[in-house]
C-alpha cells in the first residue's frame, strides 16, 4: 500500500495512528496539504527527468566549467558549495512551473512549501520551515543518483539539537517518513565519467584547440554535449575550433561528427546512436 510519508499514515485513512517504534510519537492528523502537493507533483510528466535535469543544470552552472576549467562539485570553494542549494531551488521551481511563496520557496496548489537540497542525506531545516512542508531534494554527481521527496517538518521528524543558526536536521526516524516522489538516475557528468588518463590529457592541454583535439581523441564512441566542448575549450569560438578539428583528426583516423548537420546525423545513426540532441558531437575511430 502506498503511504503518505507523514508518519506512514495510509492514504485515505483519516484516523490517527500511533507509531510502533520504541519511543512512540504523538499521533498526528491526516495531512491533506501534503497529499495535495504530492498528487500535484506526481501528475507532472517525467518528474524524475525534470528533477535530474534541474540538478544537472544547477551543478554545471555553479561549477562554471567553460570559464573555470573545473568539472566536479568537490573543486568548488566553500561559499560556492552553499549556493548550490539556492540554485537547485530556483531552477527546480522554474522547471516545474511553480509559483514563489510569500514565506517559503514555493507555492504549490495554495500551500507554502520550502525546498531543501543536499548532496548527501542530511537536510538542514531553518526555523521558518518548522512545521511546514519541505521538498527534500538530493543529488550526487559521483553516484549519478538523485531524488525528491516531501515531508512536514514537525518536531518528531527532526533532531533535538540545532546548530548555531538554529537549524535542525532531519532525524533517522524523519528520513523513514519521507514520501519519495522521484528517485533514480540523473544526467551524468561527462568529464567525471571519463577515465582519469583521458580526463588529464584533455584538462592539461596547452590551448583550447589542443583541448578539443584531446577530447575527440580520448572520448571516442561517446555522445559529447556542446557544453563539454565549451568547457574544455574555454573560448567563445569553441564550436569553430571543433569544426576545424574534423579535417585535422581525420588524418589520424578519427571521424568527428556534429548532429547539427544532416549528413553527420546519418553517421550518428549508422554508428548506433539514435537518441541525441541537435548540438551533440561524436568522434569515432575508423
pLDDT average, residue stretch 212-224: 97
140 phi/psi in degrees, rounded to 5: -130, 115
Lookup: cell for 173:
526516524
Instruction: Name the grid cell of 208.
Output: 583550447
> How far, CA to CA in Å, does 170 sit from each of 20, 91, 152, 167?
19, 23, 10, 10
Q: Where are the alpha helices (DSSP H) in the chain?
A: 32-42, 47-63, 65-68, 78-96, 172-176, 190-193, 196-203, 208-218, 226-233, 238-250, 262-270
CA-to-CA dists, residue 248 to 208, 217, 245, 263, angstroms: 15, 11, 5, 19
H/E segment holding residue 256: strand 254-258
pLDDT in tens, 77-133: 999 999 999 999 999 999 999 999 999 999 999 999 999 999 989 999 999 999 999
pTM of the model: 0.82
Q: With CA atoms as reference, report the closest residue to 131 among 147, 148, 149, 111.
A: 111
Write out pLDDT tens, residues 29-79.
Answer: 579 999 999 999 999 999 999 999 999 999 999 999 888 888 999 999 999
User: Is residue 232 scored above 70 in pLDDT?
Assistant: yes
Give all domains of the chain, ordered by start, each with its CATH number: 32-185 (3.40.600.10), 194-285 (1.10.10.10)
Q: Which pLDDT belongs to residue 29?
A: 59
Amino acid at each position: 500500500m502506498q503511504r503518505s510519508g507523514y508518519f506512514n499514515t495510509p492514504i485515505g485513512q483519516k484516523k490517527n495512528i500511533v507509531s510502533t517504534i520504541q519511543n512512540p510519537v504523538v499521533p498526528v492528523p491526516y495531512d491533506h496539504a501534503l497529499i495535495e502537493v504530492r498528487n500535484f507533483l506526481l501528475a507532472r510528466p517525467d518528474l524524475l527527468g525534470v528533477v535530474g535535469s534541474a540538478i544537472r543544470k544547477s551543478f554545471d552552472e555553479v561549477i562554471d566549467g567553460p570559464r573555470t576549467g573545473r568539472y566536479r562539485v568537490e573543486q568548488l570553494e566553500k561559499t560556492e558549495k552553499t549556493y548550490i542549494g539556492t540554485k537547485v531551488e530556483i531552477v527546480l521551481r522554474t522547471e516545474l512551473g511553480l509559483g514563489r511563496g510569500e514565506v517559503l520557496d514555493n507555492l504549490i496548489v495554495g500551500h507554502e512549501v520550502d525546498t531543501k537540497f543536499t548532496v548527501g542525506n542530511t537536510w538542514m531545516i531553518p526555523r521558518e520551515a518548522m512545521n511546514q512542508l519541505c521538498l527534500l531534494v538530493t543529488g550526487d554527481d559521483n553516484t549519478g543518483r538523485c531524488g525528491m521527496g516531501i515531508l512536514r517538518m514537525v518536531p518528531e521528524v527532526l533532531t533535538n539539537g540545532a546548530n548555531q543558526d538554529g537549524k535542525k536536521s532531519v532525524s533517522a526516524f524523519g528520513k523513514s517518513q519521507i514520501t519519495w516522489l522521484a528517485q533514480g538516475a540523473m544526467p551524468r557528468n561527462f568529464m567525471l565519467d571519463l577515465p582519469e588518463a583521458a580526463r588529464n590529457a584533455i584538462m592539461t592541454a596547452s590551448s583550447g584547440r589542443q583541448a578539443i583535439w584531446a577530447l575527440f581523441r580520448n572520448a571516442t564512441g561517446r555522445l559529447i554535449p556542446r557544453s563539454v566542448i565549451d568547457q574544455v575549450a574555454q573560448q567563445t569560438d569553441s564550436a569553430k575550433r571543433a569544426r576545424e578539428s574534423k579535417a585535422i583528426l581525420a588524418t589520424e583516423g578519427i571521424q568527428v561528427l556534429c548532429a547539427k548537420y544532416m549528413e553527420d546525423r546519418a553517421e550518428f545513426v549508422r554508428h548506433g546512436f539514435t537518441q541525441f540532441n541537435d548540438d551533440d558531437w561524436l568522434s569515432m575511430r575508423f
